[in-house]
A and B are shown apart, each in its own frame.
Chain A
Amino acid sequence: MNKTTKARKYNSSKLQELLDEVTPLEMEQTKVKMQLSARIEDFMRAKGWNKSQFAEKVGKNPSEITKWFSGTQNFTTDVLTEIASALGVELTALFGKKQVQVIYRKEIVVKSVVTQPTIIMTTPMSQGTDVYSYCLLASQGNKSPFTKYYQA
């Protein structure tokens, strides 16, 4: 049954009341913290490091790195300078806008021996994406069950 309907948009006065109490500055502070942690994680992944490897580079426990990436961390400039140094980037790069980083671009020409049309694919691969989401969202395209990994 594929009814094309969207979820009902739901406004809550209770939630709105609380949101109204949040000042623009507070909201901006949260945004900066979350973006900063996302940028650091993206840079770490671009280096090909996992959390343990990154922790080793900055001399911290992996649990500290988990906290850094939680989006709740209020970094000091000293720690940020340390992080930027370990990642080999300028401190200001950590505050830059999210960019899709092309790590590999190659035109691939696939020619078949039978008389099929030539397929040309260009592959801009981006960093900072969530592989988990692709696996999940691919389930629908593959017609494989969403519950296939679920263990009751």
Chain B
Amino acid sequence: MNYEIVELQPYSGSEAKVYSLIPMGEDETLFEMFVDEYKVEFKNEVKDIIKTIYQIGHTTGARSSFFKQHEGKYGDFVCALFDVPEKNLRVYCIRFGMVAVILGGGGEKAEGVRAWQDDEKLSKEANLMIEYAKDILQRMDDGDLYWSKDRTELQGNFKNYDNE
């Protein structure tokens, strides 16, 4: 997988670092692509997501209760933001405790859809995040990415390009 992890400003803050991923060849993050796709149809909900992410970064940290845990494979830290019944949108991310979250894409969880596996778009986005999580965790094992000494942010090589 070829991608760059970037720190999203001004969402990233003293309570949690907020990152997203730019796939190689793209000029924007997965999270921006998600926002772009839904900001007309679900404008208020997209704004709610943005406000929530800002507060996670600056006030509360990435508390587990704000996310639906275990959306990916066991132990891969993939979760979904905003998985409450009355909300239409889901954003998939990788949550590293309270201190960091990597935002991916997401989609609409239509009425009647119980799990992301039941919906083509959600499956695509969730599976993509699972793949990214697998790669990122492997890179952490390899020492290519690691935690800062104070354990508050990721450091290392943020561009995972085959040719670099």
Which residues does chain B contribute within 8 Å of A152, judged by CB atoms?
73, 134
Contact B97 A133 (CB under 8 A): yes
B128 beta carbon closer than 8 Å to chain A:
no
Known: A5-B157, A14-B35, A140-B147. A146 touches B141 (CB 8 A): yes
Stretch from B58-66, B105-113, B116-124 at the A interface: B58-66
A7 beta carbon closer than 8 Å to chain B:
yes
Contact A136 B50 (CB under 8 A): no
A4 beta carbon closer than 8 Å to chain B:
yes
Residue from A16, A22, A136 within 8 A of B51 (CB atoms): A22
Question: How far in angstroms is the closest Cβ of chain A from B128?
Answer: 16
Interface SS of chain B: mixed
How many angstroms from the CA of A16 to the CA of B28 in the assembled complex? Answer: 13
Residue from A27, A69, A145 within 8 A of B54 (CB atoms): A27
A60 beta carbon closer than 8 Å to chain B:
no
- Contact pattern, A 134-149, Cβ under 8 Å of B = 1, otherwise 0: 1011001000011111
A78 beta carbon closer than 8 Å to chain B:
no
Contact A70 B141 (CB under 8 A): no
Contact A147 B7 (CB under 8 A): no
Question: How far in angstroms is the closest Cβ of chain B from A130?
Answer: 4
Which residues does chain B contribute within 8 Å of A34, judged by CB atoms?
52, 55-56, 59-60, 66
How many angstroms from the CA of A47 to the CA of B63 in the assembled complex? Answer: 19
Which residues does chain B contribute within 8 Å of A4, judged by CB atoms?
155-156
Question: How far in angstroms is the closest Cβ of chain A from B144?
Answer: 6
Contact B158 A147 (CB under 8 A): no
A18 beta carbon closer than 8 Å to chain B:
yes
Known: A137-B97, A146-B141. A3 touches B87 (CB 8 A): no
Known: A72-B48, A72-B87, A133-B99. A6 touches B64 (CB 8 A): no
A1-B144, A71-B52 known, 9 other contacts, Cβ within 8 Å: A9-B7, A19-B50, A31-B59, A37-B65, A66-B84, A72-B84, A147-B75, A147-B140, A152-B73
Closest 6 CB pairs of A and B: A133-B97, A149-B75, A69-B65, A10-B6, A30-B51, A7-B7
